Amino acid sequence: MNALVLYESRFGNTERVAEAIALALQECVSTRLASVEETHDCVEALHGIDLLVVGGPTHSHGISAELRQAVECLGSHALDHVRVAAFDTRVPGPRVVTGSAAVRLGRLLRRRGAWLVVPPASFIVSGREGPLEQGELDHARTWAHEVLHAVGVRVHDQVQAPA
């Protein structure tokens, strides 16, 4: 299985979450990490991808223009039969107040033919520019393992040797 973690990040918080997700996925599947800024051909980037994980910061209750453009350039059926997961970074508070790029990303990806394998996830930043709240990188790794489980990949439990 080949995975791509595609992200957009302004202040580095979403990038850190994407890196944690990619590292967790790499434990079991071949994984590539790419920012939308460095991905010039969206369709080419998806070649051979079985699992696409997309994330970005929440802007004005939704998806940033850059991330929306990257997903929309794929066309209406570019993600047919591709399994996807969506995540965001956002400030603390109820989603109805803060908004969620992940929820909107999930809808946008499904409209492109993708199969959303887990509910969208949010990772919390302390303020507009961050930093990530304590424990969010562990949350990202746990969520990545949930994604793997949802697509039928067995995550090997790492048993620590007694001290």
- Residues 38-93 have pLDDT tens digits of 876 667 778 889 999 999 999 988 999 999 988 888 777 888 889 999 999 999 99
Cα dihedral across residues 31, 34, 40, 43: positive or negative: positive
Indicate whether this model's pTM tops 0.85: yes
Give the pLDDT confidence of 130-148 residue by residue, as tens digits. Answer: 899 999 999 999 999 999 9
pLDDT at 89: 97
d(C-alpha 123, C-alpha 140), whole Å: 7
Residue 27, pLDDT > 80, answer yes
Separation CA 68–CA 101 (nearest Å): 10
pLDDT band at 160 (very low <50, low <70, confident <90, very high): very low
Class of domain 2-150: alpha beta
How high is the pLDDT of residue 138? 98
Q: Does residue 158 surpass a pLDDT of 60?
A: no
Torsion of CA 85, 61, 69, 55, to 10 degrees: -30
Question: How many angstroms separate the CA atoms of 19 and 3, rounded?
Answer: 13
pLDDT, tens digit, 9 for 90 and up, residues 50-64: 999 999 999 988 999
The Cα–Cα gap between 63 and 78 comes to: 19
- What are the boundaries of each domain within the chain? 2-150
Which stretch of DSSP H or E encloses residue 51?
strand 51-57
